[in-house]
Amino acid sequence: MATQSSKPSLARRWEDYQPAKSTLLWACAATFVATLIIGFNWGGWVTGGTSRALAATAGDTARSELASAVCVDRFNTAPDAAAKLVEFKAITDSYKKWQFIETGGWATMPGKTSPDRLGAQSCAVALAT
């Protein structure tokens, strides 16, 4: 004779479960904290301050790349470009190369009165190669 088990099935136990309010509260809090940890560590989430800093850095980089491209173009289209390039390549100190580019006016953007330092540095590197 077979004996029947009086233990209810898992589905039945799940239906009959009635958690306390505190259990639900802590489950929600744990889920919230886990979401934050996963989002900020692996999801790529950042705070507002970090986002603003990244945007400012990206803007500075883009501006210097544009200034460098304009500088190289201005340098290469100058009437005495070949002589200036020989003079530029004769300079060994990188700081003096930047100064040469800045004083030549090639790193000054249209509408500006002073040269873009990052653009001049990038321009010097591009012209040196």
Crossing angle of helices 48-77 and 117-128, in 10° steps, is 50
- Does residue 5 register a pLDDT over 90? no
Does residue 41 lie in a domain region? no
Does residue 72 lie in a domain region? yes
Does residue 124 lie in a domain region? yes
Mean pLDDT (the chain) is 91
What's the pLDDT score for residue 21?
93
Q: Is 125 exposed, middle or buried (0-12, 13-18, 19+ CB in 10 A)?
A: middle
- Does residue 35 register a pLDDT over 90? yes
Do 126 and 67 contact (CB within 8 A), yes or no? no
Does residue 32 lie in a domain region? no
What's the pLDDT score for residue 97?
93
Read off the pLDDT of each residue in 110-115 and give the average, rounded to a whole number: 88
Look at the chain and report how many structural domains it folds into. 1
> At residue 5, what is the residue type?
S
b vs e for 7-35, b when ≥16 Cβ sit within 10 Å of the residue's Cβ? Answer: eeeeeeeeeeeeeeeeeeeeeeeeeeeee
Does residue 76 lie in a domain region? yes
Does residue 42 lie in a domain region? no
Domain that holds residue 109: 48-128
Does residue 2 lie in a domain region? no
CA distance 85 to 104: 12
The pTM assigned to this predicted structure is: 0.64
What's the pLDDT score for residue 46?
95
Here the tokens at position 65 are 């790349």
List pLDDT tens digits, range 49-58.
999 999 999 9
What's the pLDDT score for residue 18?
87
Does residue 86 lie in a domain region? yes
